[in-house]
Amino acid sequence: MGFFVQLTEAIAERQSLLMTGLDPNPEMLQSWAQRRGMANRSFLSQARHWIKAVVEETSPHVCAIKASLGFYQALGPLGLELLLEVRDLVPRDLPLIIDAKHGDLNSSTALAHYLFKDLGVDAVTLSPLAGQDIAAPFLLYADKAVVITCRSSNPAAKRIQYHPSDADPLFLQIVRECQLWGTPDQLLLEVGTSDPTVLGLVRQAAPERVLMLRSIWSEEERLDGLLEAGLNDAADGLLLPLPQNLLVEDDLGEQAGELKALINRRRERWLDQHPRADGNSCALWVAEESQADTAGQQATTALILDLFDIGCLLFGEYVQASGAVFNYYVDLRQIISDPNLFHRVLHSYSTLLEQLHFDRIAGIPYGSLPTATGLSLALHKPLIYPRKEVKAHGARRLIEGDFNEGDRVVVVDDILITGGSVLEGIAKLESSGLVVEDVVVFIDHGGQRDRRARERLEAKGYRVHAVLDIAQITRTLLAAGRLSADQAAVLT
């Protein structure tokens, strides 16, 4: 899923233009920590608890979360580890933007790889003075976005930003120029201002772009002015930060919800006051099922191609665990060495798992254990797993991990071929008093063509859910030119 689709779906689903700033400012956190009896803890501990609380409280009411890289870098190596925790805490359907203000050409390629591939963020802010070259390494990632800072709210910047004259200031020249670097779904604009007039000038120069404000505002009159100046024809296209003072309040979630409702009332009023001629514009945009389906198909296609490109599909003569000999082999173990791809695979699993009811996740040894671990962390569900063999020493456990009799367990595996290993694992789980109803796999080998494995599980009362099947993978790879007709015939 590309950044723009992700953002617009978050706006539509949460009906919000708000975003959360996750900047662990020592001064701001001091009173928050003191009220919670954490005054004597280290700043890192305070920041960790604050970040978790803010994400949990605001996620239902915002369409994006933004973290300033500098605050985390200032904490040294532990700060970068904290940034990884931020990535894990932010729900995958919310865009995560890193505010880097990066402007150094020499390190652009390396930083783009770190932020987009290693850290897995969705967008990054850049400084524009180096020209298009600064954005190029970041724009190579088609599913990500860059946010160009076209204006700073710092008073001392006015001498530069309004050169050569107030009539044609430099910041508007930047707005016009940087729109040539990337499409509206790849390139956004950050505007540092609390002045509706300034925001209106930027909107006039960039009617199709998403504008991201940096201002801290609290007065209702200022909010009305900014919305009037910054909304696009569909009454969106403007991201407003939650005021920083709210981020340390005890009723943060409640206040964020109230602010979201206030903004939505103003958006509805804005639409009423700005009638549009038929055919020239559209109503307040909400993601339609067909658009969401298209975005999902694009994400699935990209995932299949990336899995193929890192060597997850091999051709040759391979003996499967069941003893059957295939002319190809699907090796999903490769994904654990590519953090960004691994996150995307986990997200595809999560889409299915979030529709199910369960108390614990069980991975089938050994191939799916990394995946089950990642899903446990992402979904905040305890992990257990049946041992492949019972130890002859120590506790001699059949099931590793903590559980209670009667707990409902969802079983996770990588690929379903015969169903034998899954049934073997389920038997161990059920013999320990656990309840299994659902099995989720990444690839159903048989798909609709050969349903024997699926029917084998369903006959015993287990529901099977699969992200992909071999036929879908084959169609995608053949259409993209990754497979020859002969290779496709082997798979089908």
Tokens of 102: 């990066």
How many Å apart are CA 491 and CA 68, to the nearest integer?
47
Q: Which residues share a beta bridge with 124?
A: 98, 146
Cβ-Cβ contacts under 8 Å for 46 (sequence gap 6 or more): 24, 29, 32, 33, 38
Tokens of 179: 């729109």
Cβ atoms within 10 Å of 56's Cβ, excluding its own: 13
DSSP state of 246: G
Cα angle: 339, vertex 340, 346; to 5 degrees: 85
Using an 8 Å Cβ cutoff, are 384 and 358 in contact?
no
Based on the residue annotation, tell me whether 158 is a catalytic residue of this protein. Answer: no
DSSP state of 306: H
Our CA dihedral for 65, 69, 71, 73, rounded to 10 degrees, sits at 140
Q: Which residues share a beta bridge with 384?
A: 362
Q: Which of 52, 101, 428, 460 is catalytic?
A: 101
Using an 8 Å Cβ cutoff, are 310 and 332 in contact?
no
Cβ-Cβ contacts under 8 Å for 102 (sequence gap 6 or more): 108, 111, 124, 125, 126, 127, 134
Cβ-Cβ contacts under 8 Å for 23 (sequence gap 6 or more): 67, 68, 71, 244
What element of type H or E holds 212? strand 211-213
Our CA dihedral for 443, 448, 453, 454, rounded to 10 degrees, sits at 90
Strands 18-21 and 238-241: parallel
140 φ/ψ angles, rounded to the nearest 5 degrees: -65, -20
430 φ/ψ angles, rounded to the nearest 5 degrees: -70, -30
Helix orientation angle between 289-309 and 470-479, rounded to the nearest 10 degrees: 80
Using an 8 Å Cβ cutoff, are 419 and 457 in contact?
yes
CB burial of 204-218 (b: ≥16 within 10 Å; e: otherwise) equals ebbeebbbbbbbeee
How many Å apart are CA 288 and CA 36, to the nearest integer?
43
Task: Just list the catalytic residues.
Answer: 101
